[in-house]
A and B are shown apart, each in its own frame.
Chain A
């Protein structure tokens, strides 16, 4: 076998890690060792992992701060639900229907990402961030006022007020501020796991390709990249649209896990939540995003024993982790402890000596 280079080895380790976690969880679940609370969280965790990895593509790899990632999740969620409902009679086989719904969600979110990306990516830094925030809020407002119905004649759309005039036997799929209700939940943990693997595959292949190197060149130095002939708009759009499409698929997965979905679920706070996963996991580090997304989704549930204090504890943990990982003094302190522990364990006196000199 050919020796693998460093990046592909770490990518394969990530795939292997995800697969092992999946197998272990399935085994534990079969043995009945998983609490129902945790079981209910499995699909949302998969959706958040995909959201975090895809946002990491925008923030970590492309280097642009996006505060409206939940908007794409919302687009994917609602278009996915519409697709799944329309296909309900045509495709009785559930996994195929879910897969097709995700594809539709991804495509429509990708188109939204393209349309939004053209104006947004002309801006820089905080201005870009605020415009993504604005688009996220606009998407939320629009979906909150969108009515979609399905009857024998096909799909009907109306905006601001319910003027669908459905035939008898037709049903309202999206009811404005009421969102989707009476949806059949068909998402499964296996589907979520496959989506996570596909996401990782897409992101790793993009990042390690010629295009990925161009995207990172744009991040590191825009002017230098431009001067060697890299088409900045093209590569920025490429990363942004990929990220949006993956978020759309995650949105479909998330929405198909519940019987009711409202647009207000995908608001600014959700965008921020996902950004927290990305920053906490480490910019550009996909494995970090996965762990952070899973850990921070479980944390509020695991803190149930603190009952009403749990969100307070969550906030404090978040602040402390940010301080501990970003303050130079605290970092040196932790590095010192780490080096000492390693020195003691491995009897590597040299390492200890270096650490104490620091």
Chain B
């Protein structure tokens, strides 16, 4: 039973990683850049949700239905809106002027952006940790006569991840914009010749990725409660690892990579050692990449001579 409960915790953590990894993988697939500021967008989303919830929470009677539904919902939606705008603005100001530059120059700019967001957050909201109250309460679902308890946050996280996954798969597969995205990720020049507005497509990708980052931020902080300006960086690195693990550029790969990474991390913490769980996660990543150099579901592009 403990095994099952660790497994569920792992899947839940992995679902958060998967949602973050989607942002990395989509941006990488289309703009061919590693957006290091993505982890900090998560943190911004969590802060926006935190403040909305604490402001709105005062308006409702504690314990009433309104207090349980309205502030979390409004907080999440506002966080998504702010992050979407933030993502698009970042792309326009910092990354768009560098479309023709080397990938390293874009990488450093993204790192600069990440520093900027972290320090701006520190100035605005101080570095004191905030205690984030879960968006879905602290209740539990008891199964097998109380032997297995699954918190509501866990269930909501897993459901949200599945819904997002299905939604994105349908979006990229069925809509015109999704088709444009796939075209851009394959060949930007050819896509432009077919009348696709590449700049708009990239902006939309950033918007979707950042909105997902906001959701991930809210879910992450609901499960782990402390919120600081540096909250986003480690999950950001882990999610980036997850994206590479599953094959960067591939949407199902991000899901698989994220969930596997979450499970491995939880099991390593539970059965081996808390202190070196990160080392184990990264060691597994290295082994996987040595066996499958393009990740689990990545396509290997044969080199043309």
The segment from B172-180, B189-197, B216-224, B274-282 found at the interface with A is B274-282
Q: A123's contact among B109, B241, B279, B289, by CB below 8 Å, is which?
A: B289
Give the one of A124, A141, A308, A316 with max B CB within 10 A. Answer: A141
Contact with B along A259-274 (1 / 0, CB 8 A): 0000000001000100
Q: A327's contact among B97, B115, B120, B283, by CB below 8 Å, is which?
A: B97
**Using Cβ atoms and an 8 Å threshold, which residues of chain B touch A272?**
111
Question: Within A57-71, which residues are at the interface with B (CB < 8 Å)?
Answer: 59, 65
Q: Contact: B109 with A141, CB < 8 Å?
A: no
**Using Cβ atoms and an 8 Å threshold, which residues of chain B touch A178?**
none
Q: Contact: B101 with A312, CB < 8 Å?
A: no
Q: Contact: B285 with A311, CB < 8 Å?
A: no
**Using Cβ atoms and an 8 Å threshold, which residues of chain A touch B69?**
none
Rounded to whole angstroms, the CA-CA distance of A323 and B295 in the bound complex is 32
Q: Contact: B244 with A279, CB < 8 Å?
A: no
**SS of A interface (majority):** helix
Question: Within A114-136, which residues are at the interface with B (CB < 8 Å)?
Answer: 119, 122-124, 126-127, 129-131, 133-135
Q: Contact: A142 with B276, CB < 8 Å?
A: yes
The total of Cβ contacts below 8 Å across the A-B interface reads: 126
Size band of the B side of the interface? 35 or more
Rounded to whole angstroms, the CA-CA distance of A291 and B153 in the bound complex is 50
- Indicate if B57 sits at the interface (CB-CB under 8 A): no
**Using Cβ atoms and an 8 Å threshold, which residues of chain B touch A312?**
116, 119-120, 123
Rounded to whole angstroms, the CA-CA distance of A65 and B248 in the bound complex is 17
Q: Contact: A327 with B101, CB < 8 Å?
A: yes
Q: B283's contact among A130, A138, A323, by CB below 8 Å, is which?
A: A138
Size band of the A side of the interface? 35 or more
Q: A268's contact among B97, B104, B237, B303, by CB below 8 Å, is which?
A: B237
Contact with A along B285-305 (1 / 0, CB 8 A): 110011001110000000101
With both beta carbons as reference points, the residue of chain B lying nearest to A125 in the complex is identified as B103
Q: B98's contact among A122, A145, A322, by CB below 8 Å, is which?
A: A322
Rounded to whole angstroms, the CA-CA distance of A130 and B97 in the bound complex is 26
**Using Cβ atoms and an 8 Å threshold, which residues of chain A touch B107?**
65, 279
Q: Contact: A311 with B244, CB < 8 Å?
A: no
With both beta carbons as reference points, the residue of chain A lying nearest to B304 in the complex is identified as A223
Rounded to whole angstroms, the CA-CA distance of A315 and B109 in the bound complex is 9
- Indicate if B108 sits at the interface (CB-CB under 8 A): yes
**Using Cβ atoms and an 8 Å threshold, which residues of chain B touch A314?**
115, 119
Measuring CB to CB, which residues of chain B are less than 8 angstroms from any residue of chain A? Answer: 28, 34, 94, 97-98, 100-102, 104-105, 107-109, 111-113, 115-116, 119-120, 122-123, 237, 240-241, 244, 248, 273, 275-276, 278-279, 282-283, 285-286, 289-290, 293-295, 303, 305
Q: Would you mind naming 13 contact pairs between A and B with Cβ atoms under 8 Å apart?
A: A126-B244, A127-B295, A131-B289, A133-B241, A137-B278, A138-B278, A142-B276, A276-B112, A312-B116, A312-B123, A315-B112, A316-B116, A326-B109
